[in-house]
Amino acid sequence: MIHESGVLVIQGRELEVAWAGPLPHEAPTLVLLHEGLGSVALWKDFPHRLAEATGCGVLAYSRAGYGRSAPVDLPRPLTYMHEEAREVLPRILDAANIQQAVLVGHSDGASIALINASAVRDPRVRGLVLMAPHVFTEPMCLDSIRQAREAYNTGRLREGLARYHVNVDVAFRGWNDAWLDPGFEAWNLEGFIPGLTCSMLLIQGYDDEYATRAQLDAIEAGTSAPCRVVWLDDCRHSPHRDRPDTTVSVIQEFISQLPLTSFAKSSSHE
């Protein structure tokens, strides 16, 4: 196993990255797309566990404004997930020389993965793992985001997040202000669902405080692509933190069934 940290320069900004497992010329790569308050460090040991379980490489990166990546100007546009999916993520794959990818997204990151797979149709993307994805806004989600703002303003949440973000106010306000903007109530990704063609694994906790089952139901009903849905007991919004063993196991099973087996043979002759 290897673990390397560094930066990629994308659109003139330095983005924090970390690798676990084989490099892209040795195996397919799982690209981790973090939540609205996430970063490389907040994945903790999840990248290593995925690399060990699947035999794939794992690339995690902090989006601009998060972790140790370059800051962004606020307020973020309400289309920030669309821009990440269409403009930044393809350049990440280019800069990292990723040849075959599975996008593993959580929350906002899962929504970014969904947009990318539908709108970009990158042939390098061979599968999607969507953990607690959002495809439209729900009142319970906005209520939880308002509660997060209150916790941040009292200092409790800010203190915790400051351990993971150099520009903690940019990280929090960029996410929180966008979601609580009145215009965000109309935010909706359902139009992207019919364009999904690669195999998908959808994972959500029964106790998710940010979304109802309507999110996964909409994806499952709207796509003709192969789609497996896994619901987890005793799990809130973060399957990889609340139920890590089961989450790694179902991802490993999903990866093993994707058409990636020819990769090692082809790369061994390069």
Percentage of the residues of the chain whose pLDDT score is greater than 70: 95
In a domain, 268, yes or no: no
pLDDT for residue 155: 86
- Domain residues for the domain of 31 are 3-261
Tens digits of residue pLDDT in 100-116: 999 999 999 999 999 99
In a domain, 89, yes or no: yes
Are the beta carbons of 33 and 104 closer than 8 angstroms?
A: yes
pLDDT for residue 260: 87
pLDDT for residue 265: 39
Average of pLDDT values for 234-260?
Answer: 97
Tens digits of residue pLDDT in 159-216: 999 999 999 999 999 999 999 999 999 999 999 999 999 999 999 999 999 999 999 9
- 5 vs 94: which has the higher pLDDT: 94
In a domain, 270, yes or no: no
In a domain, 269, yes or no: no
CATH code for the domain in which residue 138 is found: 3.40.50.1820
In a domain, 35, yes or no: yes
Does 270 score more than 60 pLDDT? no
Q: Per 3-state DSSP, what percentage of the chain is helix, strand, and coil (rounded to 5)?
A: 45, 20, 35
Distance CA 180, CA 163 (A): 24
Comparing CA positions, the residue from 191, 213, 189 lying closest to residue 202 is 213
Q: How many domains does the chain have?
A: 1
pLDDT for residue 1: 39
In a domain, 267, yes or no: no
pLDDT for residue 261: 57
Confidence at 4, pLDDT banded by 50, 70, 90? confident
Are the beta carbons of 15 and 69 closer than 8 angstroms?
A: yes
